[in-house]
Amino acid sequence: MKHALHLWFKNNIALIGILLLYLCIALYNLDGLPAEIWSDAIAHYYLVQGVQHGHFFINYAFGGDGPIFTYLAVLVSFFVSLSFYSLKLTSVFIGFFFVLSMYFLAKEFFKDKTTALISTTISAISFWTIVFVRQPHARILVPLFICLTLIPTLKKRNTLAGVLLGFGMYTQASFWGMILVYWKNLRTLLIGLILTIPLVFTFILNPTNFFSSQSYYGEKLAVHTPFLQVITALLYNIQANMLSFNFRGDSIFRTNIPNHPHLDILSGILFVVGFCLIFYQSIKKKQETFILYFILPFFLIQIPSVFDIHNYLAQPNISRMIGVIPFVYMSIAYCIVTIAKFLSTRVSTKPVKKLVTFFVYYGFLVLILIINLYNFFVVYPKYLPNGNTPFGKMIALTIDASAPDTQVIIIGAGWGQWAQPEAAGIPMAQKTIHTEFFEQTVFQTQSTLCQTPIKGKPLMIVSDPYFEDELHTTNLCLHRQKSYMLTGNGWDIAYIIEGTQ
């Protein structure tokens, strides 16, 4: 037993090292980047809280996100109390299994351990992975379930593949194109569709919620859009997606450096060359496995992204394209291995061959690692609201420092960049529970305080800095003890008044 364990560890030490590298990158300063909670994360917080109180669901209760992320977040909350951090930790947990699954998927495709290990490394260090495993969002489930579905498919375990395909439909709308991959594998397709029936019923029973022009899906499909505009949008989306890897990426600051290509410059070139090589060889050698489960999925999985008709000028969308990353990462790895093999054949001696191979493998991987870590930890935070200065979190820390019986009134919301802080997010960031009221104006605050005063009650007012002068001149029916501007990173976070009634 001891010998077998030692042998297993020796044979898998490289894979273990990659997984540890992933965990170091994913967990480093997880609480501080991104630092501030926002509306999508708050919605997921409420969904988890609802399940904790017995409100179970199987439908798409929030936008394009299925229920699986919520239940995994509930599981994590048994070990780490529900918070913005625990939601992000859930994504890190999912990402770990995605990176691990990349090893087994690449090994099944290429029958080569080296290609599998390099694919796994790319998946662990790429910006595209890093940014999503640190988001409290369901989208990282998409590449995981694509890998989990394809691995048994390649092993010809079609029943298991069908089960995973069905469960994948409950992850996120970006997964739905995966159903089209199995047009030729009827057993897998049938099992997947059967497991999707309960989800389909939620769509049938609530068609207005899902397909009206105001809904998450109907808005994107733009059901009543003229035909010519639909064709224009489709062509634009296809072009935008194809150019996103190397030229112009998503403009949304939370999931990308605005307009930065979805891949770094080096990975982008390697991806194009690698994918073209795989495509060419698959067609030339009539490799049905690669055509059906590598080439076609790369395009079919993008259908939910391509069919965003209403918002087509907002394309490309790195979130809706996330299902392609297993194929992107494997293409990059395949290109690196091909370059190493090509260069090593140009030298005669075995030691030099090993040296060339070593420098090709580690040279590319180290450069990709450095570029992506720099992009995420240095460049990316600059584009977050107020340079990743967490207004709500800093306000929460200030409230936590007050006495437990302090009544808190928060005036206004969204006065920072991109509508931070979210008023509802402030209590979620607190470590202590206080009686809190949320008001929109100073006049409303005055009414709240002066109509039902509680003599001697400790009070804290947290306000939009814009209201500072008005708060000075308004009778708030309290004895002011101190007032000050809470600041951080050169920004005015909030104007604070502390006192008693």
Q: Tens of pLDDT along 28-40?
A: 999 999 999 999 9
Q: Which of 202-206, 241-245, 494-498 shows the lowest per-residue confidence on average (mean pLDDT)?
A: 202-206
Question: What span, in angstroms and rounded, lies between the C-alpha atoms of 228 and 148?
Answer: 39
Give the rounded distance of the alpha carbon of 108 from its chain centre: 26
- As given in the structure block, the two tokens for residue 58 are 């199987």
Q: Contact, 225 vs 218, CB < 8 A?
A: no
| pLDDT band, residue 225 (cuts 50/70/90) | low
CA 232 to chain centre: 29
Q: Say if CB 322 and CB 249 are below 8 A apart.
A: no
Whole-prediction pTM value? 0.93
Separation CA 200–CA 206 (nearest Å): 10
Which of 369, 373, 343 minimizes the C-alpha distance to 358? 343
Query: Among residues of the chain, what percentage have pLDDT more than 90?
Result: 79
What mean pLDDT comes out for the span 151-167? 97
Q: CA dihedral in degrees (331, 338, 133, 294; nearest 10)?
A: 30
3-state secondary structure of 332: helix
pLDDT at 377 over 70: yes
Cβ neighbours for 395, distance < 8 A, ≥ 6 positions apart:
410, 421, 426, 429, 462, 486, 493, 494
Could you read off the pLDDT of 46-88 as tens digits, one per residue?
Answer: 999 999 999 999 988 887 899 999 999 999 999 999 999 999 9
Q: What is the distance between the alpha carbons of residues 74 and 52, in angstroms, rounded to a whole number?
A: 7
Helices (DSSP H) in 294-324: which residue ranges?
Answer: 296-300, 303-306
Q: Give the pLDDT score at 4.
A: 66
Distance between CA atoms of 394 and 83, rounded to whole angstroms?
15
Specify whether the CB–CB gap between 436 and 409 falls below 8 A.
Answer: yes
Q: Residue 346 has what pLDDT?
A: 87
Domain ranges, ordered by start, for the chain? 12-383, 386-500
Whole-number Å distance between alpha carbons of 94 and 448: 45
Reported confidence tier of residue 224, pLDDT bands at 50, 70, 90: low
Mean of pLDDT values over 187-216: 76
Q: Which one is predicted more confidently, 326 or 2?
A: 326
**What pLDDT is recorded for position 200?**
86
pLDDT digits (tens, 9 = 90+) for 400-441: 999 999 999 999 999 999 999 999 999 999 999 999 999 999
Residue 214's pLDDT band, with cuts at 50, 70 and 90, is very low
The tokens for 122 are 């790319």
pLDDT in tens, 108-139: 999 999 999 999 999 999 999 999 999 999 99
Q: Is the pLDDT of residue 223 over 80?
A: no
Vertex 174, ends 171 and 176: CA angle to 5°? Answer: 80
Mean pLDDT rounded to a whole number for the chain: 92
pLDDT digits (tens, 9 = 90+) for 450-484: 887 788 889 999 999 999 999 999 999 888 889 99
Which pLDDT tens digit goes with each residue over 91-101?
Answer: 999 999 999 99
Enter the tokens of residue 225: 């859009």
- The DSSP secondary-structure symbol of 135 reads S
